[in-house]
Amino acid sequence: MLSYTLKRLAFAVPTLLVVITISFFLMRAAPGGPFDGERQLPPEIEANLKAAYHLDEPLPMQYLRYMGNLAQGDFGPSFKYKDFSVTELIMQGFPVSLEIGGLAIGLALLIGLPLGVIAALKRNSTIDYLVMSLALGGIAVPNFVIAPIMALVFGVLLGWLPAGGWNGGALPNLVLPVIALSIQQIAYIARMMRASMIETMGSHFIRTARAKGLSEVQVVLRHALRPSLLPVVSYLGPAIAAIVTGSVVIEQIFGIPGIGRYFVQGALNRDYTLVMGTVVFYGALIVLMNLLVDLLYSALDPQIRYND
Amino acid sequence: MSALLELAHLSVTFDLPTGPVTAVKDVSLEVKAGETVALVGESGSGKSVTSTAIMRLLPELARIEGEIRFDGKTLTNLKDRDIRALRGNDIGMVFQEPMTSLNPMHRIERQIREVLEKHTDLRGNKARARVLELLKQVGIPEPERRIKSYPHELSGGQRQRVVIAMAIACEPKLLIADEPTTALDVTVQAQILELLGELQARYGLAILFITHDLNLVRHVADRVCVMQHGDLVEQGPTRDVFANPSHDYTRMLLAAEPDGVKAPVADDAPVVLDARDVHVRFTTKRHLFRPDETFEAVRGIDLRVRRGQTVGIVGESGSGKSTLGRALLRLLPSTGQIVFDEMALQPLDQKALRPLRKRLQVVFQDPFGSLSPRMTVGEIISEGLKVHFPELSRREREARVIEALGEVKLDPAMRARYPHEFSGGQRQRIAIARALVLKPEFLLLDEPTSALDRSVQVTVVNLLRELQKKHGLTYVFISHDLSVVRAMSDTVLVMKDGAVVEHGPSEAIFTAPRVDYTRKLIEASFIDRVA
Amino acid sequence: MTSTTTPYRGEHDDTPLPAGGPNPPAGPDKNTGESLGREAWRRLKQNKAAMASLVILTLMALICFIGPHLLPWALDEVDWSNFQTAPSLENGHYFGTDANGRDILVRTLFGGQVSLSVALVATFVSLVIGVLYGAVAGYVGGRTDNLMMRFVDIMYSLPFMFLVILLMVVFGRNIFLIYAAIGAVEWLDMARIVRGQTLALKRREFIEAAHALGVGGPTIVRRHLIPNTLGPVIIYVTLTVPKVILLESFLSFLGLGVQEPLTSWGVLISEGKDMMESAPWMLIVPSVFLAVTLFCLNFLGDGLRDALDPKTR
């Protein structure tokens, strides 16, 4: 187990390096500098600014400096939000994004898994068709369509819930964004769970379990559930990545002060360090999550060979 | 004495979307306490459906008519809960697929305990003690250690023993064994059968033994029921049925044993293939930081085949016999010498080898995997012609394809069809035609009959013999099936763990084996009919 | 049925294999000379949802590309007498206008052109890269395969969406860049699928038989490998198209995708979202177009999988 963990870690580090390197050189290859903007700066001021941000050094130097700073958790200053460092901005936004994203993943599993199991056990019944049609709908309608419509209906027309804003994370403000963020994942997880459950229920060891005289409930709970969960667990990595990505839009639509908003603002404003900082941060987050998912998978499946 | 299990006019119909299909038609049979009844039939005969129907384990779209009575109860009317009380308790079941019949996520102990906890009062240490006892009874070595194993840590034979332990845990009155040894090597098969016999004696078990293998029946069953296409065509005491089969189908099955021996070839016939000290090594890349692992599948084998001869290679799975075959044709890299018709093959590269390919052909085991699924039969057979006889016109190629199909006794009009439209035996004929169309001198036959039903096997074996005689072909015949090898071969090589343990003239090997392993193999495969 | 379906000799050689186990035995196959592709097509035709989706998609493509020519409005033509009017039959704006007096239907159809063409081109890019990469890795095998797939693994765990956005930020918003970027993201799955198929096929005996016949390597790839990977590739392509449409609209929605004067469904939805209280049709019309298209593509993909998946055989 330890060696497996180490191996996955050894894989995560180069991945992160690739992310950092790609984003660093992409940003530096950008036409136009960070100080092109509202008005032309006098050359000496621009030179001073560049020196202050070490933009006058040769590229490899800048790269090494950036890596060194990153290692200390310093993402550098924001070019646009002049009073904040990128680290400060991320740390401000992260708890908010984490809350929304974590709740969304939780909700997706809480609803998606049972739906998938029920659909599989009642295969080809009305319930099955209903669940699968809803799931297909959830996959076909993207969250940036659902979110504004939900805001329109429940926020504006019915007035049940706030159509936007954060309000310090009050519960009513959480409901719509979390649901909007999780719908697509609920759909994916339900479909996947159904397919894998159907496959498991058709396998030989389920027949053996029935031949032992177990009741259907015991067969499902003791024998079918855990093997069926494995594909869903390995999907959790991509699911988390999708939720993180989706949160960018959802934060935008509902006006939530998470990292996603800084990211989009930074991208539109060409705030290099901010965009890079968020990309690296998101990258690290996703790599870390993938690592955790891998470990969870190996804990669930006795057949996995750690030295493989 | 009244019957323990009685099937009265049992029919099973599957209501498929395409319409109802009746898999079992009006079957009546009985099993008395303590006896072994064999239910025999080829694939599609309905024997497995019958056995699954007894436990009411069929899928929901199956409709059961008639009655199943067990120990005074009518199973067909029982409530779900009551039938569950019988499963695993009064009726145990062993399945064909030892590799997948155990839950891969649970330890052995938990899986056996589950039955005990369901049907008995044994709990805690007492349950564990019983599990250990059962493992010991079914012959699992070191039960204290194995009890903690997961299924993937056990071999196929051991897994089947665990399944048997589960089935007998509650000392059932009836054991339904559905092809329990088919997926296992013959020596393991013999051990499992012996185990079943022991358990039967100890517990007074009645066994319903489902199999396609008549040889087994003769050795294990008191009575036999023969099924064909869902009908029970004949039943009676084993001895009577074998001595005096009353139904044509039974007679055909009994006659489906390949017999006769091969007419010998003159000792001075020219040597076609001469291999010396052939080794095949596989390396598996394990890890970035660890050295590659080398596995030697074939360890220094010598083999000499004269024109018109058949050399049989027998061995259990993993013995390296198929690997050796592929190496002989240079389909796998190997070391050592391989000389074909006085030409050394090893120094040739694939391109230089190409002209020789038409003289050295091969037929594989899997009738499903060996034909390219998206080509028509005509395209499949003519592919080699395009490579080796590019000068042929389309019409001439077609004529050759028709001729080859005729040789394997298939209707040449079938050449516009696709492989998935054919049965296993027909596909194997197509594969033979693909090799034959090139007019080869040497054919490597890699388990060409192993995936086929017995009655189909015989027709393929007879076809191969006929072709050999007609064209003076030389064969290397690889098989785990000793009776087929015996009927086909001049000389036989017995392989184990990549090496030859014994070789010699076929009859000598089968009548007077010198090596223990060979003797065990022969005993285990129940070849007891003198040719 | 013609006489060709009966075996040449009346031997006992015609049992359909394998019918063991409690699975219901398959019905006899009565088709003569039907290729797997034709068989799959026949199965697909029986799937009503998939066929309806195929029809709707064809219609969708037709009206997106032909429709604008039949309507009296141009893409950015301003109707000075109708600013932000609701859908109406009388003024000729069947789906209303936006705040600048532009016809929503025309804009949605043009947006559809962009979304659909991005989807097709990007899918094609991913198809070409993925199939080549996967087939080479699978066929060559060994260390090359190991190295190539490690690279894919690393690429896989990258937060790709963010790198694409980064790309947009750096090089400006450019529709060709979107094609390339999305295509470059999506090829990873394709490469994995094709490699897996190739590896599995390589071990099949018909490939060995072709080697034994003396058929050359490139011919084996062309004649035996690629045709047999087609099924999964087709399934995956139908699932990639909706993913790409989604990606493009996502980028456009964030203001990082296509730019004026071009438009796309994502851009229109983003515009509509800002006006949803006063002019909900601006949000609803492009959303419905997008959702219907995605819905149908998913249905079609599911139907194709059922029709082509060898497991159903």
* Nearest CB to A211; choose among B57, B81, B150: B57
Is residue C167 within a helix (H) or strand (E), and if so which, with residue range? helix C160-171
Q: In this predicted model, what pLDDT tens digit does every residue of C22-71 receive, in sequence order?
A: 333 333 343 456 677 777 788 888 878 888 889 999 998 898 888 777 77
* C-beta atoms of C25 and B426 within 8 A: no
Q: What is the pLDDT of residue A258?
A: 87
C-alpha distance from A222 to closest chain C C-alpha (Å): 23
Q: What is the pLDDT of residue B527?
A: 58
Instruction: Please give the CATH number for the structural domain made up of C37-312.
Output: 1.10.3720.10
Q: What is the pLDDT of residue B75?
A: 87
Q: Is A145 within a domain?
A: yes
* Nearest CB to B362; choose among C4, C11, C212: C212
| pLDDT (average), residues C262-290 | 82
Q: Is A105 within a domain?
A: yes
CB-CB neighbors (< 8 A) of B166 in chain A: 208, 212
Single pTM value for the model = 0.81
C-alpha distance from A36 to closest chain B C-alpha (Å): 48
* Nearest CB to B410; choose among C8, C29, C208: C8
C-alpha distance from B508 to closest chain C C-alpha (Å): 33
Q: Is ipTM > 0.85 here?
A: no
In this structure, is the dihedral angle defined by the CA atoms of residues A225, A228, A234 and A240, taken in order, positive or negative? negative
Alpha-carbon gap, residue A166 to A255, rounded angstroms: 7
Q: How far apart are the first and last CA of chain A?
A: 12
Is residue B335 within a helix (H) or strand (E), and if so which, with residue range? strand B335-340
Q: What is the pLDDT of residue B492?
A: 94
3-state secondary structure of B30: strand
Q: What is the pLDDT of residue B39?
A: 93
In degrees, rounded to 5, the angle at the alpha carbon of residue B327 between the alpha carbons of residues B325 and B331 is 105
Q: In this predicted model, what pLDDT tens digit does every residue of C148-161 receive, in sequence order?
A: 888 887 777 777 77
A171 sits in the region (left: phi over 0; alpha: psi -120 to 50; else beta) called alpha
Q: Are C32 and C5 in contact (CB under 8 A)?
A: yes
Q: What is the pLDDT of residue A274?
A: 83
C-alpha distance from A202 to closest chain C C-alpha (Å): 10
Q: Is A165 within a domain?
A: yes
Full domain range(s) for residue A134: 95-255
Taking only residues 144 to 183 of chain C, the set having a beta carbon closer than 8 angstroms to any beta carbon of chain B reads: 146
Cβ contacts of A149 within 8 Å, gap of 6 or more: C276, C283, C284, C287
Q: Is B56 on the interface with A (CB under 8 A)?
A: no
| CATH code for position A239 | 1.10.3720.10
* C-beta atoms of B423 and C36 within 8 A: no
CB-CB neighbors (< 8 A) of C220 in chain B: none
* C-beta atoms of B285 and C36 within 8 A: no
Taking only residues 125 to 144 of chain C, the set having a beta carbon closer than 8 angstroms to any beta carbon of chain B reads: 143
* C-beta atoms of C169 and A290 within 8 A: no
Distance between alpha carbon B4 and the CA centroid of its chain, in Å? 31
Q: Is B367 on the interface with C (CB under 8 A)?
A: yes
Alpha-carbon gap, residue B381 to B362, rounded angstroms: 13
Q: What is the pLDDT of residue A33?
A: 58
Q: What is the pLDDT of residue A30?
A: 65
Q: Which domains does chain B have, with CATH numbers?
A: 3-99+172-255 (3.40.50.300), 367-439 (no CATH)
Alpha-carbon gap, residue B45 to B29, rounded angstroms: 16
- Residue C19 banded pLDDT, cuts 50, 70, 90: very low
* C-beta atoms of A215 and B103 within 8 A: no
Structure tokens at B496: 């184990």
Taking only residues 266 to 285 of chain B, the set having a beta carbon closer than 8 angstroms to any beta carbon of chain C reads: 285
Q: Is C265 on the interface with A (CB under 8 A)?
A: no
Q: What is the pLDDT of residue A219?
A: 92
Q: Are C70 and C106 in contact (CB under 8 A)?
A: no
Strand-pairing partners, residue B361, are: B443
Q: What is the pLDDT of residue A16?
A: 82
For chain A, what is the domain count? 1
Beta-carbon pairs below 8 A across chains A and C = 124
Q: Are B292 and B284 in contact (CB under 8 A)?
A: yes
Q: What is the pLDDT of residue B290?
A: 59
| pLDDT (average), residues C245-258 | 81
| pLDDT (average), residues C171-175 | 70
Name the residue among A208, A202, A206 with its Cα closest to residue B167: A208
* C-beta atoms of A144 and C269 within 8 A: yes
Q: What is the pLDDT of residue A38?
A: 54
- How would you write the pLDDT of chain B (531 residues) with one tens digit per residue? 578 999 999 999 988 877 888 899 999 999 999 899 999 988 888 888 998 899 888 888 888 999 999 988 888 888 888 999 999 999 999 988 888 899 988 999 999 999 999 999 988 899 999 999 999 888 888 889 889 889 888 888 889 889 999 999 998 999 999 988 887 888 888 888 888 998 899 888 999 999 988 888 888 899 999 999 889 999 999 999 988 899 988 888 888 777 777 888 888 889 999 999 999 988 765 555 556 678 888 998 999 999 999 999 998 888 889 999 999 999 888 999 999 988 899 888 888 888 999 899 999 888 778 888 888 899 999 999 999 999 999 999 999 999 999 999 898 888 888 888 888 888 999 999 999 999 999 999 998 888 888 888 888 999 999 999 999 999 999 998 888 898 899 999 999 999 999 999 998 998 889 999 999 888 887 655 433
* Nearest CB to A148; choose among C163, C273, C290: C273
Alpha-carbon gap, residue C167 to C181, rounded angstroms: 8
User: Which residue numbers in chain A have pLDDT < 50?
Assistant: 306-308
Alpha-carbon gap, residue B488 to B469, rounded angstroms: 12
Interface test with B, best of C9, C12, C219 (most B CBs within 10 A): C12
B94 sits in the region (left: phi over 0; alpha: psi -120 to 50; else beta) called beta
Interface test with C, best of B52, B211, B254, B420 (most C CBs within 10 A): B420
The percent of chain A in helix, strand and coil, each rounded to the nearest 5, is 75, 0, 20
C-alpha distance from A27 to closest chain B C-alpha (Å): 34
User: In this prediction, what percent of chain C has a pLDDT beyond 90?
Assistant: 1
- Secondary structure E strands in B33-173: 36-40, 62-70, 73-74, 91-94
Average pLDDT, chain C: 75
